[in-house]
Amino acid sequence: MSRVAIVTGGTRGIGAAISTALKDAGYTVAANYGGNDEAANRFHEQTGIPVYKWDVSDFDACQEGAARVAEDLGTVEILINNAGITRDSTLVKMSHENWQKVIDTNIGSCFNMCKAVFPGMQANKFGRIVNIGSINGQAGQYGQVNYAAAKSAVHGFTKALAQEGARFGITVNAVAPGYINTDMVAAVPERVLEKIIARIPVGRLGEASEIARGVLFLVEDDAGFITGSTLSINGGQHMY
């Protein structure tokens, strides 16, 4: 039986590419999403991948959502914590609400989802968790104290949980994307984005499929010795 994977934020952008790549590789995939029903329905129609709506920043919703997936598809053995949002502004202009929302969604979600699936992975003595970090969590970014703090926390969370999972056959790794051709990056003002692209040695934005490729590598059965690591996929923009 093929292993069951949950991809949070799995119906759009990088998450959609990860869901599709996992399905194409033979995994049974559940794609979680938070709000955009139209995009989720379209994704389901195009791929046949079942979609599940819950808010990853809500602890109880994550427990219920993961239990629903397990009931429908089987024990969850792979978790991709991909869901994330931006609310960019300088610190002075940033509201407390936009600070908290980004923290809750981008790192709170990792706690909420891992709490839901980790005990089952321990019992099965197998698990693969990949947390999607960011170049901006590694290097910082003007206008992103909330996002950079949350993504930096994703990297610390990964290394701590990797130590707890190791003796149970559970690997926990991070993928740190650079600037990828998605709606999130398209929302960056054009004049700012032009300057960012000029600093990418490869000379272009990345594609979502190029992140999915890294995730696929980390979840494979024979990747059991890779844990606590960060795979940076950023076109050479930040060599960390």
Return the active site residues.
Answer: 147
Q: Nearest distance from residue 47's CB to ligand CAA, in Å?
A: 23
Interacting residue with ligand CAA among 144, 146, 152, 237 (CB under 6 A): 144
**Interaction between residue 185 and ligand CAA (CB under 6 A):** yes
**Interaction between residue 119 and ligand CAA (CB under 6 A):** no
Nearest to ligand CAA of 166, 184 (CB atom): 184
Name the residue whose CB lies closest to ligand CAA.
143
**Interaction between residue 186 and ligand CAA (CB under 6 A):** no
Nearest to ligand CAA of 149, 184 (CB atom): 184
**Interaction between residue 88 and ligand CAA (CB under 6 A):** yes
| Amino acid (one-letter) located at 26 | G
**Interaction between residue 192 and ligand CAA (CB under 6 A):** yes
**Interaction between residue 147 and ligand CAA (CB under 6 A):** yes
Q: Which residues contact 53 (CB under 8 A, 6 or more apart)?
A: 32, 33, 34, 35, 37, 40
Interacting residue with ligand CAA among 188, 197, 216, 223 (CB under 6 A): 188
Q: Are 29 and 11 in contact (CB under 8 A)?
A: no
Q: Nearest distance from residue 108's CB to ligand CAA, in Å?
A: 17
Tell me which residues touch ligand CAA (CB under 6 A).
86, 88-90, 134-136, 141-144, 147, 177, 179, 184-185, 188-189, 192
